[in-house]
Amino acid sequence: MSFLFSALLVFLLIFQFFLLFILLAIVSIVFSSIVSVPWVPTHSRIGRQMFKLADLQPEEIVVDFGCGDGSLLITAVKEFGAKRGIGYEQQLFVRWLGKLRVHLAGLSGKIEIRKENFFKVEFPKEVHVVASYLFPKTQADLEPLLRKAYPKGTRVISRTFTYPTLELIKTEKNYKNENLYLYRL
């Protein structure tokens, strides 16, 4: 009887920690969404359309600025055979979720989710396709850094939001009637 009671106590304690963890994650995500770009994942159906638009080839390298839970990178590597995916995500719990998703998909060797604020780091050197789903102001701030870091002709794809002066190559609607944009540096 006392064993059952102790087991129940341990279970309740673990459950309390679990609830606290979930609560902390929710508060952190809501707070980050208020002060910065919120996390909204891109479904693989839209990711597929974006990388088709960019004509992503196997052996190419993709970077997602603000990669959330890694949805876009997973689509790029799993469905298009991209050689590598690099993402930056500043929200702790979202990044953990991304790392877990990448691990469960068996793609840890190919996808790296970095913890940095991408405005504060040197960008990865070899990149063929840049992906982003950020607010226009953030993309406007990112634009000159992309021009500086990558050669002319590098493809840039964006969901919903535009870049102010990049050369627009093509635009398409996705199934949610949002715009998808393909640019070239």
Ligand X SMILES: C[S@@+](CC[C@H](N)C(=O)[O-])C[C@H]1O[C@@H](n2cnc3c(N)ncnc32)[C@H](O)[C@@H]1O
Binding residues vs ligand X (CB under 6 A): 32, 36-37, 39-42, 64, 66-68, 71-72, 88-91, 94, 117-119, 133-134, 138
- For the bound state, the minimum distance from the C-beta of residue 76 to ligand X, rounded and expressed in Å, comes to 11
Q: Is 78 left (phi over 0), alpha (psi -120 to 50) or beta?
A: alpha
Q: Which is nearer to ligand X, 66 or 85 (CB)?
A: 66
Kindly state the DSSP code that residue 63 receives in the 8-state scheme.
E
- For the bound state, the minimum distance from the C-beta of residue 63 to ligand X, rounded and expressed in Å, comes to 11
Q: Which is nearer to ligand X, 17 or 172 (CB)?
A: 172
Helix, strand, coil percentages (3-state) for the chain, rounded to 5, are 45, 20, 35
Which residues neighbour 28 within 8 Å (Cβ) at sequence distance 6 or greater?
Answer: 91, 92, 93
Q: Which is nearer to ligand X, 72 or 127 (CB)?
A: 72
Q: Are 48 and 75 in contact (CB under 8 A)?
A: yes
Residue nearest to ligand X (CB): 66
- For the bound state, the minimum distance from the C-beta of residue 8 to ligand X, rounded and expressed in Å, comes to 39
- For the bound state, the minimum distance from the C-beta of residue 120 to ligand X, rounded and expressed in Å, comes to 8
Q: Which is nearer to ligand X, 16 or 171 (CB)?
A: 171
The helix or strand, by DSSP H or E, that contains position 84, with its residue range, turns out to be strand 84-88
